[in-house]
């Protein structure tokens, strides 16, 4: 997963870390650590993150190819 792309998508869509944390039932700090590569999420949490962002893994791969992050 391209963590910088995740963060950029979240910011572009105007979704806060607090909103993602609530959707994933984790702390704000956990989202911050995940986006900065200091924490990993289970496959289930990653899928929930994609859903909360309105993305699927295929779309994330497409985004990664077009963004310089």
pLDDT of 69 reads: 43
pLDDT, average across residues 23-46: 91
pLDDT of 27 reads: 96
pTM of the model: 0.75
- Residue ranges of the alpha helices (H) in 1-69? 3-12, 17-24, 28-35, 43-53, 57-66
pLDDT of 11 reads: 93
Position 21 pLDDT exceeds 90: yes
Position 3 pLDDT exceeds 90: no
């Amino acid at each position: 997963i391209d963590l910088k792309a995740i963060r950029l998508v979240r910011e572009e869509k105007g979704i806060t870390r607090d909103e993602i944390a609530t959707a994933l039932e984790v702390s704000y700090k956990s989202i911050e650590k995940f986006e900065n590569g200091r924490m990993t999420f289970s496959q289930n949490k990653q899928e929930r993150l994609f859903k909360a962002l309105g993305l699927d893994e295929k779309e994330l791969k497409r985004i990664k190819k077009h963004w310089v992050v």
